[in-house]
Amino acid sequence: MAWIEQTRSRYRVRYRHHNVIYIDSVHADETVAVERRAIFEAGARRRARLFHPDPAPKLRDWIEVWQASQAVSIAAAWRRQRVSKKNQVTS
């Protein structure tokens, strides 16, 4: 979000980024300040589009992945336990 503030005969361009307000520049001509503000607005729109988080996975999809990983880890745990007992018996 960017805006222009008029101070006496100058125009100040300010913008907000991560809830902090910054002063970018001070211009004598309003058209230059408007162009600078447009650059910030375009950048903010681009960042919002690029870093928009993906929607959360649906519960059903997450459970399917979780169950598959649990089945693999349980099978691996049983194999480790059998190998461990076999090693204890033979040694």
> 84 pLDDT exceeds 60?
yes
pLDDT above 90 coverage of the chain, percent: 4
pLDDT tens per residue across span 34-81? 998 898 888 877 777 776 667 778 888 888 888 888 877 787 888 888
* Residue 54, token pair as written in the block: 């993906």
Q: What is the pLDDT of residue 90?
A: 64
Delimit the domains of the chain by residue range: 2-50, 57-91
Evaluate the CA torsion angle 11, 12, 17, 19 in order and state its sign.
negative
- Whether the full predicted model's pTM is greater than 0.75, yes or no, is no
Nearest by Cα to 12 from 21, 4, 1: 4
Q: What is the pLDDT of residue 11?
A: 92
